[in-house]
Amino acid sequence: MRLSVVLRYVGMVMLFVALFMLLSAGISAVSGYDSAFYPLLLSASLTTLLGLFPMIFVEKTEQLTTKEGYCIVVCSWLAACVVGMFPYLMWGGEFTLVNAWFESVSGFTTTGASILNDVEALPRGLMFWRMGSTWIGGMGVVMFALVILPSLGRNKLTLSNVEMSTLAKDNYRYRTQIVVQILLVVYVGLTALSTLCLKMAGMNWFDALCQAMSACATSGFSTKNLSIGFWNSPMIETILIFTMAVAGIHFGVIYATVTGKRNNIFRSEVTRFYLLMLLAGSVAIAVSLWIAGTYEGFFTSFRYAAFQFVSLVSTSGYATADTNLWTPFAIIVLIFGSLVCACAGSTAGGIKVNRLVIAGKMLRARLKQQQHPSAVIRIRLDGIMQENEVTNSVMVFIVAYLMLTLAGTVVSTMCGVDLLTSFSAAVACIGNVGPGFGEVGSLDNYSGLPVLSRFVNTLLMLFGRLEIFGLVQLFFIKWWR
Amino acid sequence: MTGLRRRVAIGFLSIVCLLFFSGMISLFELSHLSRDTGDILKANKRNIELAKRMLDAAHEQNVALIHLAVFGDRSYDSVCRNRMESLENTLAVAQSEALDKSFLDSLAFATTEMRLLTDNFLASGDGTPFRTAFAPLVQADSAALASRWYQSDYETLYGRLTSAIKSYMTSTQSSLVPRAEQMKKNAYRAVTPVLISLAVMIAIVLMLYYFMSVYCVNPIVRMNKSLGDYLAFRTPFAAKAEFKDEVLGLREKIEALIALVKQSGKTQ
């Protein structure tokens, strides 16, 4: 492991983060040099220095090992979260050290959970930085560095293989130039389209851009205390439902659909399952709310149910209603959605639909095997036979995911937090969803949790974002040799 | 081949920059803080000074009014008017300088009332106001009437006026809490960037140490060892120097020197 090479690439990512800080400082200047201007400018300068330093010392390297690739990605994420705290800490307000760390990690991991009681008190520059961090995180810090710095030759593939979920690689069997193209077309295109639609639906340009950035990153950070409920507009909700649902689909599949390629949305088994799950979940919750009389009429129930369910499954976490007041059935369905989440290869976190589909098929195969012990049963996904290694890793991942969720719940309950809040916070954080239930409900925030619980939840966010094993490997000394 | 020198220079320059940077921030923020503290003290002093002037004016006007009402000494007319004007002028100054004018509302109201009462009194030098106010006791002598007027009308108003001036005097203390909060915030803002700069500096120093070890110290140690082995046991000189800098130059020169030594040994 060449630590100096790792530092050089992490430095590149720092420079990219600094660029966004500078952009936010620009927004601050345009907004009449609000109180976030100097914190952002100072943070950008310090981050630039931190990023430039290893780049001056270490010479460009063409070949990276897989270990180095892993290390670059994980360290980039951690470093981005650390420098992302700078503007918050310098600005002050509600941001203590733990709160700033929470907000920064929540942004970069696209969780969208907040500790802010009054989001609207933030100056525009800092608000934009919050959205910017989540937008960078949505695509993956390293992937963005690759878009900006297209002179890395073969290194790109090594990094992108590490960055993405194992299951996401199938649709990225393109040349690396195409991967960059996919990211640009889908992510930037979706953000631009969403911004335009939200503006036309009645938001101002700033709110539309911020909401679109957050929705495409499936983060759920909002510029308003009441989240999307502030606008109370079915049109805005429809646009965001579409954006969030699309952002939860594998980017390669979206690209294939847009460019008329074979492996498109209509042929993808996982995407079909995902879309069906969104529809079925929304209808089930709507019926439950309608029968319980929570809202008047089925369509009003469906409006709120669809928004909340899509919001949680896509791991955005926007809110238009207080889900704490919903029926127990609706809450269970929403928790299920928060556990499964969207597709691999998207900006979403969670267990992911792909793994759920494979786990379901494994279960069926196991039952068949019981009936026909000598049969050779293959598991296929989208017509591709899945190796044993893949299916085993799926099960290991699900077990590890649930164990970490349990551990997070235990720590929070030890801090005196009630069971529903502890469990839903752990599920929401490891899945990078954002809102949970109880004290951390859709219209609440994490400021009420004890410091230790908040910190543990940030670790869960990082575990979720880095698909658990990426972060775990960093702690093995043997791995560093 | 000036890579090493440039790298080291840049490393130390970065640290110097950060030191300068954090120093400048703390200087800027601390001067800001000191200015804020000075402002608060100045405002406090000014407030007490104005309140004292108003209290003095009210007191002197009170004395003048006693002379007028009880002893009928009309020479105190002008004193009474001057003090009233002085009170009003000081109030106007206080109003123009005050950050929070709400503290002066009750004082302004009491002053206006006092002005009306005084004007009324001075306008009727024959004691009409007491006679009107105390019609049932009209038979009583005017001195008794005046003292009754003084007690029932004037003294109450005077009490209200002086208490309003005193509450204005303590108003700075009341507004001190939000100002202190603001100062606390400013102090936090002064300290945080410096702390962050220091943290970044520590990271840079650690990186510099690491890079110096990797690019400078380790290759020289390796070369030293390899050269020692060559001299002692004639093992081939094979020190690794990966980067195009002075260390690589040194290695190449040592290799050339060894080759030269070998060649001269053969020729002998």
pLDDT digits (tens, 9 = 90+) for B148-180: 777 777 888 888 888 888 888 877 677 667 777
Q: How confident is the model over A276-284, as a mean pLDDT?
A: 94
Whether the per-residue pLDDT at A395 is higher than 70: the answer is: yes
Contact B148, B136 (CB under 8 A): no
Domain for residue A481, yes or no?
no
pLDDT tens by residue, A161-212: 444 444 455 544 455 566 667 777 788 899 999 999 999 998 999 999 999 9
Q: Do B207 and A57 touch (CB under 8 A)?
A: yes
Domain for residue A459, yes or no?
no
What is the predicted pLDDT for the residue at A171?
47
Domain for residue A460, yes or no?
no
What range defines the domain where residue A95 resides? 3-247
Minimum-distance CB partner of A90 among B11, B21, B193: B193
Q: Do B189 and A89 touch (CB under 8 A)?
A: no
What is the predicted pLDDT for the residue at A150?
38
Of A98, A88, A45, the C-alpha closest to B197 is: A45
CA distances from residue A68 to A6, A9, A441, B86, B192 in whole angstroms, order as listed:
6, 10, 39, 81, 34
Q: Do A58 and B211 touch (CB under 8 A)?
A: yes
Residue A146 pLDDT class (50, 70, 90 cuts): very low
Taking the C-alpha atoms of residue A238 and residue A240, their distance in angstroms, rounded to an integer, is: 5
How many domains does chain A fold into?
A: 1
Our CA angle for A472, A477, A478, nearest 5°, is 100
Chain A residues inside the 8 Å CB shell of B10: 53, 56-57
Residue A153 pLDDT class (50, 70, 90 cuts): very low
Whether the per-residue pLDDT at A148 is higher than 50: the answer is: no
Residue B38 pLDDT class (50, 70, 90 cuts): confident
What is the predicted pLDDT for the residue at B140?
53
Of A83, A91, A100, the C-alpha closest to A49 is: A83
Rounded to the nearest angstrom, the minimum Cα separation between A94 and chain B is 11
pLDDT tens by residue, A432-474: 998 899 999 888 889 989 999 999 999 999 998 888 877 787 7
Domain for residue A409, yes or no?
no
Q: Do A56 and B10 touch (CB under 8 A)?
A: yes
Burial of A210 (0-12, 13-18, 19+ CB in 10 A): buried
Domains of chain B: 3-188 (1.20.120.1730)
Q: Which residue has the higher pLDDT, A157 or A397?
A: A397
Chain A residues inside the 8 Å CB shell of B22: none
CA distances from residue A242 to A188, A216, B228 in whole angstroms, order as listed:
15, 10, 71
Contact A246, A254 (CB under 8 A): yes
Q: Do B215 and A57 touch (CB under 8 A)?
A: yes
Rounded to the nearest angstrom, the minimum Cα separation between A14 and chain B is 13
Q: Do A49 and B14 touch (CB under 8 A)?
A: yes
What is the predicted pLDDT for the residue at B116?
85
pLDDT tens by residue, B187-230: 777 788 888 888 988 998 898 888 888 888 888 888 888 888 88
What is the predicted pLDDT for the residue at B58?
87
Minimum-distance CB partner of A92 among B188, B196, B243: B188
pLDDT tens by residue, B77-116: 888 888 888 888 888 888 887 766 777 788 888 888 888 8
Q: Do B243 and A59 touch (CB under 8 A)?
A: yes
Domain for residue A255, yes or no?
no
User: Which residues of A touch chain B, with CB atoms under 8 Å apart?
Assistant: 3-4, 7, 39, 42-43, 45-46, 49-50, 53-54, 56-59, 86, 89-90, 92
Which of A7, A38, A49, A57 to mutate to test binding with chain B, by most B CBs within 10 Å of its CB?
A: A57
Nearest C-alpha in A relative to B8: A57
What is the predicted pLDDT for the residue at B127?
53
Nearest C-alpha in A relative to B196: A86
Contact B77, B86 (CB under 8 A): no
Domain for residue A370, yes or no?
no
Q: Which residue has the higher pLDDT, B64 or A162?
A: B64
Residue A225, both tokens: 């205390």
What is the predicted pLDDT for the residue at B172?
67
ipTM for the assembly: 0.80
Domain for residue A143, yes or no?
yes
**Could you tell me how many residues make up chain B?**
268
Domain for residue A102, yes or no?
yes
Q: Do B7 and A50 touch (CB under 8 A)?
A: no
Mean pLDDT of chain B: 78
Q: Do A49 and B193 touch (CB under 8 A)?
A: no
Q: Do A57 and B17 touch (CB under 8 A)?
A: no
Rounded to the nearest angstrom, the minimum Cα separation between A410 and chain B is 33
